[in-house]
Structure formats: structure tokens, C-alpha cells
Amino acid sequence: MARHPTREQIELTDVLSALGNPLRLKIARVLDAHGERNCGSVLDAPISKSTLTHHWRVLRDAGVIWQKPSGRENLLSLRRDDLDARFPGLLDSVLRAPD
């Protein structure tokens, strides 16, 4: 189900596409600022759960986030180590940039 790419499998264009959506960029910023969250507590916006599930998948498949089951929750976190190792400086410049 949850197929996370290995560090070496993470592709630049996938990461850029994933973060090239305003909602997903926001998600990445929240995870960067606040650390691990469950799916329901990342955003306040009135977005349907099925839409969010879609965005978790895009971010996970691109290698931007980890998705770790924990009880009945699914904990989300940024793959900062892997992204920094593979694309040095990229995540910082994206997360710190103005919109």
C-alpha cells in the first residue's frame, strides 16, 4: 500500500512537481515547522479526507514525506534527511522562499 521510494530512488522532477502545488507546499511547511502530525491535524482548511489522501500519496510517492501507521492514525513527517542528502539545499530554499 504505502510504497515509499528509497533515498536513491527519489527523483528531482517528482519532488518539484509534488511541491509545485500550493496545498502540498503548505503541508510540507507545516510538517517542517511542527514535526510529526497525523493526517487530520496538518491543515485547517475544509478539504475532504479523500482529497487529502490523494495528496499524501503524491507526497509519499515523490519521497517528500514518511507515512507511518500508529494505532488508528497515520503519522506524517518530512523526509528531511533523505532530501537534504540527495538534493542539498533544495528543501531549505523551497521552504524558506516567499510564495
- CA 31 – CA 45 distance, rounded (Å): 15
Q: Could you tell me the CA-to-CA distances from 34 to 2, 28, 47 in Å, in that order?
A: 23, 10, 20
Near a second copy by CB under 8 A: residue from 4, 5, 14, 39: 14
Q: Of 80-99, which residues contact DNA (CB under 7 A)?
A: none
Pick between residue 73 and residue 92 the one whose CB is nearest to DNA.
73
- CA 29 – CA 50 distance, rounded (Å): 21
Under rule CB under 8 A, residue 28 binds a second copy: no
| CB 74 within 8 Å of CB 39 | yes
What does residue 67 show for φ and ψ, rounded to 5 degrees?
Answer: -130, 110
Q: Which does 30 bind (CB under 5 to 8 A by kind): DNA, a second copy, none?
A: none
Near DNA by CB under 7 A: residue from 25, 30, 52, 95: 52
Under rule CB under 8 A, residue 94 binds a second copy: yes
| Interface contacts to DNA, rule CB under 7 A | 1, 17, 21, 23, 38-41, 46-58, 67, 71-74
